[in-house]
């Protein structure tokens, strides 16, 4: 399950169009994740960093926080941000 706050969805829509929070949800929930790994940041705490692709083919990076900090593997996450993957 992926929880997306309205303010995060608005930020993604405004700053990272054509990426949308719903496209991120679809990619994450329906298994389009290409890479995922845990990152323990002093500033942000434990978070899951994923690289995925929307069903329209837009590659993106997203940062997810475990909804249950006591059990990060439980499976419910909160979307903190997402942005199109930089082109190199």
Domain limits, the chain: 2-84
Instruction: Say what the pLDDT of residue 72 is.
Output: 66
CA distance 83 to 61: 6
**Distance (Å, whole) CA 50 – CA 33:** 7
Distances (CA, A) of 64 to 36, 57, 88: 10, 21, 24
pLDDT (tens, 9 = 90+) of the chain, 88 residues, equals: 899 999 999 999 999 999 999 999 999 989 888 899 999 888 888 899 999 999 999 999 999 999 887 676 678 999 999 999 987 7
- Specify the pTM: 0.88
DSSP code, position 73: G
């Amino acid at each position: 399950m992926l929880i997306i706050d309205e303010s995060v969805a608005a930020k993604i829509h405004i700053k990272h169009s054509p990426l949308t929070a719903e496209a991120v949800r679809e990619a994450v929930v329906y298994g389009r994740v290409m890479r995922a790994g845990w990152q323990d940041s002093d500033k942000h705490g434990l978070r899951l960093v994923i690289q995925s692709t929307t069903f329209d083919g837009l590659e993106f990076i997203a940062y997810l926080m475990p909804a249950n900090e006591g059990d990060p593997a439980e499976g419910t996450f909160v979307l903190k941000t997402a942005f199109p993957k930089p082109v190199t």
